[in-house]
Amino acid sequence: MKKTEQDGVQLWHDLMERKHWRDEGPWESEPDRAQWVTKAGFHGLALRGPMGSWCGYVAVPAGHPWHGKDYQDEALADVEVHGGLTFAETCQGRVEKASQEALAAYARNRHLTSPDHATCKAASICHDVVDEEDAPAWWLGFDTAHYQDLWPFDIWKVSGKPKPPNVVALDKQIEAAEAMEPGIRPRYRTLTYVMSECENLAQQISEAGARD
């Protein structure tokens, strides 16, 4: 594991095993975890799920009306974020302790074909706390492994078998469709995109706190 910082964003590298990922894509130059303070003043966090796709989180502080609310709570019904909210829980623990757990969790769950916040929990859905009084946050999160999303994980690499002719043909059809209408093909949501969605979520949290 390697940790760096860029423009105020803390980045963790080499948390995920990538041997079963697709050969080429934006993920090649991305880290596996990012933590920063959003423009609204809340902690933001991005972690990869078991398929390599990003999950995004924003910490709701104690005292906020959304603190402790389930993501399906009526109070959060109007929240707009990629794919809708799919996570709401308290801090899971420290980054340094959990990084090795993340590797183990990925090894156990890499066969999954759906997003799994449990793997992100093993990677520590919690900010790297400096002040212990800052610790009890409530995280609202979303994932980018929906039908319109593309993730790095390649099931054919796991199977060790070549893609069947019908799958290859479908890939070509999708590429042709995208050439005719850009954006129609499922897209990989980059770290930059997920951070932007976190900023959007943080702004909604801020506005909700101001109303109530």
Residues 127-148, mean pLDDT to the nearest whole number: 71
Structure tokens at 163: 């893609």
Out of 106-115, 148-157, 162-171, 172-181, which region has the weakest mean confidence (pLDDT)?
106-115
Evaluate if residue 137 carries a pLDDT over 70.
yes
Provide the 10 A C-beta neighbour count for residue 55. 25
Cα 163 to the center of its chain, rounded Å = 28
What pLDDT, in 10s, does the model give residues 187-210?
889 999 999 999 999 999 999 988
Evaluate if residue 102 carries a pLDDT over 90.
no
Choice between 198 and 50, residue whose per-residue pLDDT is larger? 198
Q: Which of 104-118, 131-145, 175-189 has the highest mean pLDDT?
A: 131-145
Cα 2 to the center of its chain, rounded Å = 19
Cβ pair 113, 176 in contact under 8 A:
no
Choice between 128 and 2, residue whose per-residue pLDDT is larger? 2
Provide the 10 A C-beta neighbour count for residue 175. 10
- Supply the DSSP symbol for 14: S
Coil, strand or helix at 153: strand
Evaluate if residue 159 carries a pLDDT over 70.
no
Global pTM reads 0.76
Cβ pair 209, 59 in contact under 8 A:
no
Residues 167-193, mean pLDDT to the nearest whole number: 68
